[in-house]
C-alpha cells in the first residue's frame, strides 16, 4: 500500500511535514521517516532555483518522482518531487528509524549502532542501497516505496520545524521537520534549544 501520487501534488511544506512518520522501503530494508526538509524553486537553496538543466529537470517532473543526486562527490541523497508537474520542488529525506532489514543495513554501513544506521541523508541511502540509478524512478509504483505510518505509529506524530542543515543560501527558512522524540535524527537542535527558537538569551 503506497501513498498515492496526489499526496505529493501539494505544497512541498505540507508534504514534508506529512512524510514524517511514513514508511520508506527499498528491497527488504525499511524505516520510518523521522526527518525531512523542503526545497522549492522560489528559494535559492533549491537546485531547481536555477531553472531546468540536465541535472535539475527531474525536479520539474510529475509529483512522486524520486530525485537522487550525488552530494560532495560521495553520497547519494534521496528526494521526492512534489507540487504539480512543472513546479520545481522536492522533499529531502534526511533520517529514518530502521524497522526492517536491520542486519542488512548494519552490513552495508559497517556495524554502527542501530540509531545511527539511517541518521543522515547519506547514511540512509547507503543503508537502503539507494543509488543514483534510482534517480527518476517512481515512488508510487517503483522500487522505492513510500507508505503510510506503520502499526505502532498511529496518531499524528509530534513534528517540530526548524532551519535546514548544511546549506548556505536561505538558511533562515524553517523548512526542516523532525519527529520530536526520535533519537535517529541527523543532528540535534543547536545549543539544546527547542526548534524554532529565534532568539537566544540576550
Partner DNA sequence: CATGGGATTGACT
Partner DNA sequence: GTCAATCCCATGC
Residues that bind DNA (CB under 7 A): 37, 39, 45-48, 50, 53-56, 59, 67, 70-75, 77, 79, 90, 92, 109, 112, 116, 120-123, 164-169, 186
- Give the shortest CB-151-to-DNA separation in angstroms: 28
Nearer to DNA, 51 or 156 (CB): 51
Nearer to DNA, 67 or 177 (CB): 67
Nearer to DNA, 136 or 154 (CB): 136
Whether the Cβ atoms of residue 32 and residue 22 lie closer than 8 Å to each other: yes
Listed in sequence order, the residues at least 6 apart from 62 whose beta carbon sits closer than 8 Å to its beta carbon are: 5, 81, 85
Alpha-carbon distance of 165 to 56, in angstroms, equals: 20
Nearer to DNA, 113 or 156 (CB): 113
- Give the shortest CB-137-to-DNA separation in angstroms: 16
Whether the Cβ atoms of residue 79 and residue 132 lie closer than 8 Å to each other: no
- Give the shortest CB-149-to-DNA separation in angstroms: 23
> Residue 188 class from Cβ within 10 Å (0-12 exposed, 13-18 middle, 19+ buried)?
exposed
- Give the shortest CB-23-to-DNA separation in angstroms: 19
- Rounded to 5°, the CA angle 161-165-33 comes to 60
Pairing of strands 75-81, 159-162: unpaired
Amino acid at each position: 500500500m503506497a501513498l498515492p501520487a496526489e499526496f505529493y501534488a501539494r505544497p512541498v511544506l505540507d508534504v514534508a511535514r506529512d512524510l514524517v512518520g511514513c514508511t520508506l522501503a527499498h528491497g527488504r530494508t525499511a524505516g520510518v521517516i523521522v526527518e525531512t526538509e523542503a526545497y522549492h524553486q522560489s528559494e535559492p537553496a533549491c537546485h531547481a532555483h536555477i531553472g531546468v538543466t540536465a541535472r535539475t529537470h527531474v525536479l520539474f517532473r510529475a509529483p512522486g518522482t524520486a530525485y537522487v543526486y550525488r552530494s560532495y562527490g560521495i553520497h547519494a541523497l534521496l528526494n521526492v518531487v512534489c507540487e504539480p508537474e512543472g513546479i520545481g520542488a522536492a522533499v529531502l529525506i534526511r533520517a529514518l528509524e530502521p524497522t526492517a532489514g536491520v542486519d542488512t543495513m548494519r552490513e552495508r554501513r559497517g556495524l554502527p549502532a542501530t540509531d545511527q544506521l539511517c541518521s543522515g541523508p547519506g547514511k540512509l541511502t547507503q543503508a537502503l542501497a539507494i543509488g543514483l540509478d534510482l534517480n527518476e524512478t517512481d515512488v508510487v509504483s517503483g522500487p522505492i516505496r513510500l507508505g503510510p505510518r506503520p502499526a505502532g505509529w498511529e496518531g499524528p506524530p509530534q513534528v517540530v520545524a526548524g532551519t535546514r542543515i548544511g546549506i548556505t543560501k536561505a538558511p533562515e527558512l524553517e523548512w526542516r521537520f523532525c519527529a520530536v522524540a526520535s533519537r535517529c535524527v541527523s543532528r540535534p537542535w543547536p545549543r539544546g534549544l527547542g526548534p524554532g527558537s529565534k532568539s537566544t538569551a540576550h
